Amino acid sequence: MEMTSKQQEVNSHGAERYQHVEEPSYRNVMTSYPPSPEPNQHPPFTPKSVLEAYMLAIPFGLLGFHHFYLHRPGFGVLYLFTFGLLGIGVVFDWVRLPYLVHEANNRLRNPRSAENEDKRLDDAYLLWFVFGLFGFHHFYLRNKSLGFLYFFTCGLFGLGWLVDLFRLHSVVRKTNAKHRSGLDKFEDYSLLMAYTFNLFPITGILGGQHFYLGRYFFGVAYFITFGLLGFGWFLDIFRLPVLVRRANEKVHNQKYNCPTLQKVYLDDAYILWFPFGLHGFHHFYLRRYVWGFLYHFTFGLFGIGWLVDMCRIPSLVREYNERLSMTPLIVQEPREHRTYPTTMSNPPNNGAYQTPRTGHYPTAPPTTTEPYCGTTGPHPTMTGPYPMAPPVPPIVSTPVYGYSGEVSDPPVYTEAPPPYTE
């Protein structure tokens, strides 16, 4: 009995020595590396200090060092080139610096928050007070059209700048609401705003209406040639509704993920041909760069090519658009009509079983009341950039031993394999 108790004591001591110790849950048994953090967790950050911000703002505020420290690079660059908004911004920042530090810490603490991209009212009023006549507050509020208009007209001759004093609060609120909803990316162009750019002689001759509509090639051409010597600026008065409609069609296609073709138009080509066709402007517009440079250095092949182009511009425009319209068909044809090789994972379908291939065909767009790819009614069933998914036949499940097929089918085993022997 005494030996038994002693033996039990030895066995228990050995069990304690050789007891299995489980690895902690956070360690990976295979690699001994801690797992990656959860998606909703954010890495630790170093909070910004108000004292350090003041240490940078007092001696180097004119160069915007405190804005770079608070992760506001836009204002940092602006302070660097304007000496702290002529010193006014630096004095203003000494008062509001604790609020800027608090906002910077919130952005670092919640980097995915939608409020991080909101525009501040005090920033807008600061830019309005110092450089509002040049539209800096509108550029800050993502309103490039009014920014350019203010820049070329000195704040609509000072009247727009005074009106913004009272309406800036509502503009900031609407800008933040649009950016959170994503509507600012697909906002239609306004015909009234386009005419405002065009009818002001300075902005119209320098191509402000084309910059507003996203027609940067024409904007640059108007800027360096003073509205194509005034000829293009005068014709834009009559064709501006057509230009706005074309620009809105591109916005509409981007909104509904429709393919957008960079088409060329006959009126644009002729407007470039008449004053500056001797320098090949119409060939650059038609992406015929070799001919464009050739016309530029030979003055339109000594005027002969320029005269011939008066008759053949319609065929050049039609040829380019036809070649452009064939590009998506070449890209989509292999995807719509391709055949798949016969493999074990994709055997030929001879009627023994049916397998739906939902991953190979994109589904048709849902039927809604929103316009779709240039249409104004509900979504069509078989139109769009991709075909509708074919109907899925019923799935007939068959056991393995009942697999029927042709020569390329896998072998059929009806008996159990023999036992393993050495």
Enter the tokens of residue 108.
């670092």
* 385 falls within a domain: no
Query: Which of 294, 309, 335 lies at the terminal end of a domain, its last residue?
Result: 335
Segment 391-421, tens digit of pLDDT = 555 555 555 444 444 545 565 556 666 676 6
* 235 falls within a domain: no
Residue 414: the pLDDT is 61
* 111 falls within a domain: yes
Segment 365-382, tens digit of pLDDT = 554 555 556 554 444 444
Alpha helices in 110-230 (DSSP H): 121-131, 136-140, 144-157, 159-181, 191-199, 201-205, 208-212, 216-229
Enter the tokens of residue 80.
């660097």
* Dist. CA 73–CA 69, nearest whole Å: 9
Residue 160 has pLDDT above 80, yes or no: yes
The amino acid present at 296, given as its one-letter code, is: H
Residue 188: the pLDDT is 84
Secondary structure (3-state) at 169? helix
Query: Which of 302, 335, 368 lies at the terminal end of a domain, its last residue?
Result: 335
CA 80 to chain centre: 29
- First-to-final CA distance of the chain: 50
Rg of the chain (C-alpha set): 35
What is the DSSP secondary structure assignment for residue 420, as one 8-state letter?
P
Q: Provide the number of structural domains found in the chain.
A: 2
* 340 falls within a domain: no
Residue 67 has pLDDT above 90, yes or no: yes
Decide: residue 93, CB within 10 A, 0-12 exposed, 13-18 middle, 19+ buried.
buried
* Dist. CA 178–CA 231, nearest whole Å: 38
pLDDT more than 70, % of the chain: 66
Residue 244 has pLDDT above 90, yes or no: yes
Measuring CA to CA, which residue among 218, 380, 230, 379 is closest to residue 285? 218
Query: Which of 320, 335, 350 lies at the terminal end of a domain, its last residue?
Result: 335
Residue 386 has pLDDT above 50, yes or no: no
Cβ contacts of residue 263 below 8 Å, gap of 6+? 321, 324
> What is the DSSP track for 292-330?
HHHHHHHHHHHTHHHHHHHHHHHHHHHHHHHHHHHHHHH
* 76 falls within a domain: yes
Q: Count other C-beta atoms under 10 Å from residue 283's C-beta.
A: 25
**Which of the listed ranges 26-40, 108-122, 301-315, 367-381 does the model predict with the highest average pLDDT?**
301-315
* 250 falls within a domain: no
Contact 42, 109 (CB under 8 A): yes
Measuring CA to CA, which residue among 361, 363, 383, 362 is closest to residue 372? 383
Instruction: Name the residue with higher pLDDT: 113 or 378.
Output: 113
Enter the tokens of residue 39.
């998606």
* 298 falls within a domain: yes
Segment 265-295, tens digit of pLDDT = 999 999 999 989 999 999 999 999 999 999 9
* 22 falls within a domain: no
Residue 382: the pLDDT is 44
62: domain range? 45-117
Phi, psi (rounded to 5 degrees) for 8: -65, -35
* Dist. CA 150–CA 161, nearest whole Å: 8
C-alpha separations of 292 from 231, 287, 310, 400 in Å:
21, 8, 15, 68
Mean pLDDT of 224-252: 92
